[in-house]
Chains A and B, each alone.
Chain A
Amino acid sequence: MAEVAVRSLRPSLARFGVLAASVLLLGFLALPFIGLLLRVSAGEVLARLARPVVIDALRLSFITSVAATAVVVVLGIPVAWLLATREFPGKRVVEVLVDLPVVLPPTVAGFALLMAFGRAGLGGRALAALGISLPFTTLGVVVAQVFMAVPFMVGPARASFASLDRKLLDAAATLRAREAFTFFHVALPLALPGLLAGVAMSGARALGEFGATITFAGNLPGTTQTMPLAVYVALQSDLDAAVALSVLLLVMAFGLLLGLRSAPAGSFWGRGDARAQGH
């Protein structure tokens, strides 16, 4: 009798535990967004987005994050290909270096960039000779965003290159294709879903970048004050503008992730294994 009771109790307890944890966590994640959205109506958001300081931040964020994403794509994809297809001494070090920005506090990254590209820094002096200055400039914003966004491009791109059928690459070689031809005509089109995921994630990271930007490029309206920085400033003076900016960023982030998830498995993510690799 007692044994039967224990048996039936245990699964229900476990089920209750899982349910409770899920409700708690989801509520905790959703509540701030609900609070934010409840503060304003859609009309109000649009009206406040028209303020000059908000428009400036929007424009700057758009330009810098697009530029940063472009740099990350152009530099990150070849590195991802190399990591996916080659073994070389020091590969571990390269892997750690590429992943470092994920775990590094962004302010530390910004400080390190300042040390490197400041007037006294090693890179800074070299660039100064060319008449280029990075700290506290729009270009500096892009540099900070690139630094923080790189792992989000290289990771998924590498995973999707690595999951390519090795036999297809071999087949291309026996069909007289050099590696470059194989890369552009076989690897790139077949790895596209993973690459697009990388573009989206690194773009989002660049758009949301705060700590490294404010440390390295400062917080100058119109020059280096991107949306996340503007939200922080507005929070202290113009709460309504902060709400409007936050809602906009939230909607963009949500739409981006939803778009990535709901793309049909066959066309965007390829097969099931590609999906597993992408996450």
Chain B
Amino acid sequence: MLELKVTSRLGTFELEAELDVADREVMVLVGESGSGKSTLLRCLAGLLRPDRGRIVMDGALWFDSERPAWLPAHERRVGVVGQDVALFPHLTAAENVAFGLRAQRTPATERRRRTAAALERLGIAALAARKPHQLSGGQQQRVAIARAIVLEPRLLLLDEPFSALDAASRRAIRAELRKLLDELSCATVYVTHSPAEALSFGECITVLEAGRVSQVGTREDLMRSPRSPYVAEFLGVNLFRGTLTAPEPRGAGGGARIALPQGELAIAECAGSGDTAIVVRPREITLALERPTGTARNVFEGAIEELVPEPPDGELVRVSLATQPPLIAEVTRQAVSALALAPGRRVFASFKAAGVAVVGEQDEPPLGA
């Protein structure tokens, strides 16, 4: 169990973050570059001392500005795998994996056993004698993961571990890591730029913006009510910026309309006015081959551009539509085959006015309050 609350000032940038991660939990940390993700990870790893706050791991004090207490990196049970694998170039794969055990003076027989087991676990036993420059990017990443987990960390920090890999090796190693994390008992913080990774790894997602946590929640929470345009954009929901027009006369549904550059949407009653951002959750959108006759007040016609299976399990499919405005719908695999959806096919997308949410408008108390 990791509990963190820190403040750290670096030049003009200030990080102020709070984070709780349970054992066996994968906390996904997302944010634009410069949002403070790396700074936060360096604080957790013990490579950067925050100015104020506390970091408690399994009840042990890693940092406390009040006491004051500070455990440097080499005294923490933390494993780090970064986007730059940082393998030691002069050591073989096996020596890289054994490095931490040697540093801790683990007896040679135990060291060999644990090193072999870690290499085996990552499927790289055959590469043990190779130097890093003789390994592919994916293989190097496996060595880096083996090197971190062989020490049985209590906290595993993964900093965009696959961003340097090509799509094919990324998919392969991602699935394996997912399985590996399920087996480990540590708490994991997983930093990523990729929505697909965030959605497939995260039970819980923390969003960092400009050095502050802007939202914490499950992917469902975030999808339902993104607190900022960044969150909405990151999750790939339909985000639109437009101008709220005068509410329709009562009796016509009591809703309002919002004018977008590429069209107009009907939304449920809204307190605000003027420029605003709204999201349409992909699952709220229904696809049909004929113009729907139901109560849905937003109906758009257009051709299908792309069909993409939705992680983690691929039960759902994301459908990109060339409508005005362009929409992304999320439907089941069964629906795809029942409607024979394919790129180029013209469909009607419909959703209710109540399916449109205004970004930043809080429909529930803030988390942690």
Contact = CB atoms under 8 A, between A and B. Distances in A.
Interface of A: 165, 167-168, 170-178, 181, 185-186, 189-190
B103 A178 contact: yes
A174 B45 contact: yes
Nearest to B77: A176
Contacts of B72: 173
B102 A167 contact: no
Contacts of A178: 74, 103
Nearest to A190: B90
Interface stretch (B78-86, B167-175, B201-209, B309-317): B78-86
B95 to A, nearest CB: 9
B86 A167 contact: yes
Instruction: Give 6 closest A-B pairs by Cβ, nearest first.
Output: A175-B100, A177-B103, A173-B73, A171-B86, A167-B86, A174-B80
Contacts of B78: 174
B267 interface: no
Nearest to B78: A174
B82 A167 contact: yes
Contacts of A181: 102-103
Contacts of A190: 88-90
A1 to B, nearest CB: 58
B86 A170 contact: yes
Interface string B95-139: 000011011100000000000000000000000000000000000
A189 to B, nearest CB: 5
Given A170-B47, A170-B73, A171-B80, A177 B100 contact: yes
B37 interface: no
Given A174-B46, A174-B79, A168 B86 contact: yes
A172 B88 CA distance: 9
A165 B88 CA distance: 10
Given A170-B86, A176-B74, 13 more contacts: A168-B88, A171-B86, A173-B72, A173-B74, A174-B76, A174-B79, A174-B80, A175-B100, A175-B147, A176-B100, A176-B104, A178-B74, A181-B102
Contacts of A174: 45-47, 73-74, 76, 78-80, 148
Given A170-B47, A170-B73, A175 B99 contact: yes
